[in-house]
Chains A and B, each alone.
Chain A
């Protein structure tokens, strides 16, 4: 899976899902209606940089805390194509893979990227290119690569349901 877009940097370590999408809006279940509340607890002005194809650049232990899928759902709804970071919290990482949003661990690329940098990610090859400079990412395990290639867990489930029951 290859993804590319303009970098939007979300600074800081241990960015939790509460600041990424405050709990008071968890009674919204439609991704389009989640969009205005993304980043509300950290920096609502980040939304001004979203819209076109975007690669989010994040720090260590990004997405810690709640299992709320509202965060990657809202990111997808904003055309975020990929998240590259130093490391990810477990449930956030799972949610991204399940929604076919590549979450790529590549601390060097995350350090090199600036707001507006042009980023291309080749998940299968483990390569991240930031303004022409290439970095090696932590390899994405084969199962997760397949999930990304299939279009996420919804498509995966559709495929399984279409197979004759054994």
Chain B
């Protein structure tokens, strides 16, 4: 019996001579990531474990993104701790103004290559599957163990294969592909599995869109969502990384726990209703829902592609008087590119607020919390009750076209009607 891409990567990173779903193996990490929330908790656990030695300082990355820029003294202390620990151990530290949101940053800076194993103290570490890596979100105690030993225990997951076919419509993006999958299998449907995306339709998904797809695989309970490397991956990595890599693909006789299909020809822009990303409906079903805040940003959809889509919708238009619009470029580099391309000017002229890269508005940490009774349309990945401020607020998740169209109309609308 052949192996899936996930099984092959794990087999290459452990001492076992065979792997199968459910088997527990120790998996070696190529990159260990943590942030200002999960890093300091991991450092406490390292102290209890009894060492401050790291396995390989060139493979450890710390990013200040959740509470950066620090919203209060307690947050500033955490970020200071993260920075001092990083300097002391000689690991790479991306401070505010030098990095951005961890996952977009790691991909952008060439840390991630196909076939590698990326672990992070953040559930959206699954994002890196977009580049053909096996990536796993872990808790802080796991991260402490990875920092010391360079490995983690892993129950080998099964694989759910998603075959994507057809061509995307004008306002359909990667976000809609993954919302369609979550809607098919539910919030717990991918537990103990990874998703694997194949088929002719994947060719029309750029790396930015694949990042969004892989990013939301955890909202279906999956460990990651892998796009086996193809020409799009090769072009993206050219000149971006010096790491050696080889494309890893599933064997033709690999075994899958389930197979799904997404037909792009029949896909329309989708929206996940409160308070669970599995509550997916076509945007047309929600037309007229008043929207008080729009957020374009976060590790799913704060890419240059998303900012371009938002700016296209906003060109020559105004944010509706009922609505606030916050745009968060995911990284400092994306921010600069958006400036160079004039996207920031278009958005600011329309009445949007532009924030420095941060996770703040997505998880209710800071920068854009919601009041009771308010509705938001966000390009983020979670709409849990209370996540973005008041438990009596509602968050709808959609792509950047849908979000920007709602900002113009002050309510959910079909983006085709705005542009």
Contact = CB atoms under 8 A, between A and B. Distances in A.
B148 interface: yes
Contacts of B50: 157-158, 161
A157 B188 contact: no
Given A66-B363, A141-B24, A153-B141, A27 B121 contact: no
Interface in B193-225: 218-219, 221, 223
Interface string A129-158: 000000000000101100100001110111
Contact of A27 (B67, B187, B382): B67
Nearest to B381: A65
Interface residues of B, number: 53
B48 A154 contact: yes
Most buried by A among B78, B144, B188: B188
A61 interface: yes
B384 A94 contact: no
Interface string B36-56: 111011001100111100000
B100 to A, nearest CB: 19
A98 B48 contact: no
Interface string A39-67: 00100000000000000000011001111
A29 B41 contact: yes
Interface residues of A, number: 43
B90 interface: no
A94 B37 contact: no
A98 B75 contact: no
Contact of A98 (B67, B139, B218, B387): B139
A77 interface: no
B297 to A, nearest CB: 15
A145 B419 CA distance: 58
A153 B143 CA distance: 11
A90 B125 CA distance: 13
A19 interface: yes
A95 B140 CA distance: 8
A117 interface: no
A67 B49 contact: no
Given A69-B140, A141-B24, A26 B188 contact: no
Nearest to A62: B188
Contact of A18 (B48, B122, B144, B387): B387
B276 A14 contact: yes
Contacts, number: 141
A152 B221 CA distance: 24
Contact of A60 (B75, B145, B149, B188): B188
A156 B24 CA distance: 16
A28 B278 CA distance: 30
* Interface residues of B, dominant DSSP: loop
A22 to B, nearest CB: 6
A122 interface: no
B253 interface: no
B191 A90 contact: yes
Contacts of A3: none
Nearest to B77: A27
Contacts of B123: 65-67, 91
B141 A99 contact: yes
A29 B44 contact: yes
A18 B386 contact: yes
B337 interface: no
Contact of B137 (A23, A29, A61, A91): A91
Interface in A68-91: 68-70, 72-73, 87, 89-91
A88 B18 CA distance: 27
Contacts of A67: 38, 121-123, 137-140
Given A98-B142, A152-B141, A158-B50, A141 B22 contact: yes
B318 interface: no
A61 B188 contact: yes
Interface in A89-138: 89-91, 94-95, 98-99
A14 B189 CA distance: 11
A29 B75 CA distance: 10
A50 B176 CA distance: 42
B266 interface: no
A26 B141 contact: no
B24 A23 contact: no
Interface string B143-172: 011001100010100000000000000000
Nearest to A89: B221
Contacts of A158: 48-50
Contacts of A60: 188
A98 B141 contact: yes
A64 to B, nearest CB: 6
A23 B67 CA distance: 10
Given A141-B22, A157-B144, A87 B191 contact: yes
Interface of A: 14, 16, 18-19, 22-24, 26-29, 41, 60-61, 64-70, 72-73, 87, 89-91, 94-95, 98-99, 141, 143-144, 147, 152-154, 156-158, 160-161
Q: Nearest 3 A-B pairs (CB), nearest first?
A: A61-B188, A23-B363, A95-B139
Given A61-B191, A89-B191, 7 more contacts: A16-B382, A16-B384, A27-B36, A27-B365, A65-B384, A67-B139, A99-B141
9 contacts: A16-B382, A27-B67, A64-B188, A69-B38, A144-B24, A153-B45, A153-B141, A154-B141, A157-B148
